Amino acid sequence: MCGIAGAITTKPLDGARLLRVLDRMRSRGPDGCGHAVLPLGQRALSLMHTRLSIVDLDARSDQPFRKHGMTLIYNGEVYNYPELRDELKSLGAVFETTGDTEVILEAYRQWGTDAVKRFEGMWAFALHDPARDILLLSRDRFGEKPLYVWSRPDGFYFASEVKALAVMVGEKPGVNTGQIRRYLVNGYKSLYAAGETFYQGVVEFPAGSVAVIRDDGGVVPHSYWSVGYAPVEMTLEDAAAQTRDHVVNAIEYRLRADVPVAVRLSGGIDSNIIAGVAQNVLGRKVTAFSVLDDDPRYDETASIVRAVDYFGCDHHAIRIPKTGFLDRMERLIDYFDGPLMTISYYLHALVSEAIHEAGFKVSLGGTGADELFSGYYDHYLFWLASQKDRPDFENLVEEWRGTYGRFVRNPFLQNPRAFIERPAARDHIFLGAERFAGFLKEPFAEPHSEGHYSEDPLRGRMLNELFVETVPVMLHEDDLAAMAFSVENRAAFLDSRLAEFLSTVPTRHLVHGGLPKYLLRQAGQGIAAPDIMENPRKQGINAPVTNMIDVTDPTVRAAILDNSPFYDIVDRAKVETFLGQGTTLNSESKFLFSLISAKLFMDGAAAADL
């Protein structure tokens, strides 16, 4: 994990500015830094890199990495680098390092831009090839590693973080208030569908893409990977066995590091399977970190204690602090260059801080498992809709009532036939949007829309979430919550081979015996606590914001309601009334967090300091 930045300009960035960019990316790479200025056609290419040493800790793998006249800056991990290195050696390549950075460069030398199709991992890189007089940009399939681009009249800029773009350019990009409104009214699931960021003119380089850039700075990304639903007939037993093999391989790859790896452990099945595979299949010593809350709606203490007892692993428990919430939020938002999407990432940052303080540089988490294996409450109802013609359909409904259906709080999802009666209904996704729009000074209404990925109702939702609605947002937040404390976050299940296999599994196998994520639960049999594997309730890191902040405290209320550009778009009087009403619904608690997060972001964005 590292930080990268670059600029294609008429004149190279001066030395002082290069050093300032490196300083701004220090938390992404505290173990080393470097820069290079190279010709690209009639322009100058300035490249910057900060390093967090994970694989091949020697300075020989520092970046910018130069070989064969080419120069590479790279953020991420290519997990299958040992296999690729052996293949490249058989083709005549000679290696001077033992890490993955040199493998990327040699793979490009051998296979050109098609090299990225052979990589299994997470990355954002820029590779300068003087022989072709090009710069190659690429980003991993799921978008685990960030890459922002800003095309301006004076040049083309790219970086791991918006703050680095601002330093390179010498000014902050303007706040995109339309995206703020979208976030407040429709929530985080609406953000990537809009194709915008919280900054005017700044966009993300698309995941799963590569672009060849010449000195004119024109960028036309081309997709090199996609996955869709293409079922192949197989038995439930075959699906479960192959899933387990792929899950084990995916986790084994993501444990590759020359430094210790931590596991972010919740009471849910995803993180327990990660810990179970690591310890009980691969023989790796597990050190787990968990955040605990006293609220009975979210308290996972009993499940986490059960997991720790089962594994007998080292465990660090982090209690959610009851003070200092606004100060922590200000610091995190300053680093995130945007609002925190949900309170889960405030908690993720708490865990990352503890992981860093314990001396770890890498953590594993379960991001993407719900979208790959079908883990959300609405997924079960979409699955029921896909199975409506089965002769045992009424039995399936009763199974739902006795398991997942017992825990559903969203009123739109309490009818097991919801998507049979209204297949296109998506009321549950932007829950409360009309009410929340009433807080804005100007009208805002943007109905939910989704891409057409599959005729199968469940697979269509899962693929929308995987590529647009949830996973891109979670990966963005995962990266920042970890890198704020110089920790590399790895998503254990976002493996292309696993995703490709699951795309061939018939939908009917995704739920069984009243349990969603059935195939993943089966993968955990014998390696994680059985009662956790069989728990029908969805578990995850969460807590209400009112557990961390007392909005009746006059000092807190004054901080939330003080003068701000935020109140140019939001009605302050309505916020004040809202603070006095209390938040009894989960959607209200989430909206309160969004108000605070967006307000603090706009306060910080208005500051002059770069």
Q: What is the mean pLDDT of residues 251-272?
A: 97
pLDDT at position 540 over 70: no
Q: Is 33 a catalytic residue?
A: no
What integer best gives the mean pLDDT of the chain? 95
Could you tell me if 368 and 247 lie in one domain? yes
Could you tell me if 74 and 111 lie in one domain? yes
Q: What is the mean pLDDT of residues 548-558?
A: 91
Indicate the number of domains in the chain. 2
For 122-133, how does the pLDDT look when each residue is reduced to its tens digit (9 = 90+)? 999 999 999 999
Could you tell me if 191 and 46 lie in one domain? yes
Q: What is the pLDDT of residue 602?
A: 97
pLDDT at position 368 over 70: yes
- Whole-angstrom distance, CA of residue 578 vs CA of residue 558: 14
Q: Classify residue 448: in a domain, yes or no.
A: no
Q: What is the mean pLDDT of residues 457-479?
A: 97
Could you tell me if 53 and 104 lie in one domain? yes
Q: How far is CA 551 from CA 185, 282, 294, 577, in A?
A: 21, 48, 19, 11
For 284-333, how does the pLDDT look when each residue is reduced to its tens digit (9 = 90+)? 999 999 998 877 677 788 899 999 999 999 999 999 998 999 999 999 99
Q: Out of 2, 7, 122, 288, which one is annotated catalytic? A: 2
Confidence tier at 547 by pLDDT (50, 70, 90): confident
Confidence tier at 57 by pLDDT (50, 70, 90): very high
DSSP string, 551-565: TTSHHHHHHHHSS-G
pLDDT at position 589 over 90: no
Q: What is the mean pLDDT of residues 162-179?
A: 97
Q: What is the mean pLDDT of residues 536-558?
A: 84
Token pair 């300075």 is at which residue?
Answer: 59
Could you tell me if 29 and 136 lie in one domain? yes
pLDDT at position 362 over 90: yes
Three-state secondary-structure class, residue 549: coil
pLDDT at position 608 over 70: no
For 16-33, how does the pLDDT look when each residue is reduced to its tens digit (9 = 90+)? 999 999 999 999 999 999
Q: Is 100 annotated as a binding residue?
A: yes
Vertex 427: Cα angle to 582 and 339 (nearest 5) = 55
Q: Classify residue 545: in a domain, yes or no.
A: no
Could you tell me if 59 and 200 lie in one domain? yes
Q: Classify residue 381: in a domain, yes or no.
A: no
| Among candidate residues 500, 533, 566, the one where a domain is terminated | 533
Q: Classify residue 229: in a domain, yes or no.
A: no
**Within 10 Å of residue 402's Cβ, how many Cβ atoms?**
11
Structural domain boundaries enclosing 186: 2-223
Q: What is the mean pLDDT of residues 355-365?
A: 98
- Whole-angstrom distance, CA of residue 260 vs CA of residue 513: 38
**CATH code of residue 466:** 3.40.50.620
Q: What is the mean pLDDT of residues 562-583?
A: 92
Q: What is the pLDDT of residue 539?
A: 65
Could you tell me if 365 and 245 lie in one domain? yes
Q: Classify residue 357: in a domain, yes or no.
A: yes
Q: Classify residue 494: in a domain, yes or no.
A: yes
Could you tell me if 366 and 472 lie in one domain? yes
Q: Classify residue 379: in a domain, yes or no.
A: no
Could you tell me if 212 and 278 lie in one domain? no
pLDDT at position 152 over 70: yes
**CATH code of residue 146:** 3.60.20.10
For 440-456, how does the pLDDT look when each residue is reduced to its tens digit (9 = 90+)? 999 999 999 999 999 99
Three-state secondary-structure class, residue 271: helix
Q: Are 52 and 486 in contact, with CB atoms under 8 Å apart? A: yes
Q: Are 561 and 576 in contact, with CB atoms under 8 Å apart? A: yes
For 210-231, how does the pLDDT look when each residue is reduced to its tens digit (9 = 90+)? 999 998 767 899 999 999 999 9
Q: What is the pLDDT of residue 580?
A: 86
The percent of residues in the chain predicted with pLDDT above 90, rounded, is 90
Q: What is the pLDDT of residue 607?
A: 75
| Among candidate residues 480, 503, 533, the one where a domain is terminated | 533
Q: What is the mean pLDDT of residues 386-396?
A: 96
Of the candidate ranges 226-235, 273-282, 296-305, 496-505, the one whose mean pLDDT is the lowest:
296-305
Could you tell me if 113 and 255 lie in one domain? no
Q: Is 468 annotated as a binding residue?
A: no
Could you tell me if 142 and 62 lie in one domain? yes
Q: Classify residue 47: in a domain, yes or no.
A: yes
The structure tokens listed for 14 are: 């001066």
Could you tell me if 97 and 217 lie in one domain? yes
Torsion angles phi and psi, residue 199, rounded to 5: -130, 140
Q: Please report the sign of the dihedral spanned by the C-alpha atoms of residue 196, residue 197, residue 200, residue 203.
A: negative
Q: What is the mean pLDDT of residues 537-562?
A: 86
Name the DSSP class of 132. T
- Whole-angstrom distance, CA of residue 407 vs CA of residue 504: 30
| Among candidate residues 511, 533, 555, the one where a domain is terminated | 533
